Amino acid sequence: MDLFLSTFENKIDRKGRLSVPAKYRAIFERNHTPLYLYKSLTKSCLEGCGIERISQIVDAIDQMDVLSEDTLTLQTMLSSAQEMKFDNEGRVMLSDDFIQYAELEEVALFSGIGRSFEIWNPAQWRPRDAETRHNARNGKVPKLSFAGTHKQGNF
């Protein structure tokens, strides 16, 4: 399984072109799948993934009550999704709407979160990251289950 991990920063040029980290591009190239970007529902960032993740969301919607709020929420997320095309230099063209939504300026921060990744304004991501790490050091660690065991999150 391919995973999006680590953190990278890349410049956004005046035309809105953003270079996707080579490690992330390699996943899309290896799997012959397009990159999809969409507006996060809960954070001031963009989220990126492949067709597999988009298909999981669509499959989840198909299992839900068509008139439920949960369905509407997921449909709203998908309504902002755009299939991105890489240029010869590994860049994608961000729409003005995406740039404004994530409050991106000259640099974008890619944060790998497993099966997807986020694109942030670094000035917004850094304090969020610091707060999350501070909270974890002070006992606010999620309970994780590995191989059927339930333990407090000491890795």
CATH code assigned at 128: 3.40.1550.20
d(CA 38, CA 98): 8
The confidence score (pLDDT) of residue 148 equals 56
Q: Give me the pLDDT at residue 68, please.
A: 85
Domains contained in the chain, number = 1
List, for the chain, all residue ranges whose pLDDT scores fall below the cut of 70: 147-155
pTM: 0.88
pLDDT at 131: 94
Contact yes or no for 105/121 (Cβ under 8 A): yes
Is residue 120 in a domain? yes
Sign of the C-alpha dihedral computed for residues 141, 122, 85 and 24 taken in this order: negative
Q: Identify whether 104 is part of a domain.
A: yes
Q: Is residue 1 part of a domain?
A: no
Domain of 130, in residue numbers: 7-152
Q: Is residue 36 part of a domain?
A: yes
The answer to whether residue 2 sits within a structural domain is: no
Query: Do the domain assignments include residue 91?
Result: yes
Within-domain flag for 126: yes
What was the pLDDT predicted at 141?
84
Mean pLDDT computed over every residue of the chain: 92
Does residue 67 lie in a domain region? Answer: yes
- Bridge-based pairing of strands 82-84 and 35-39 is antiparallel
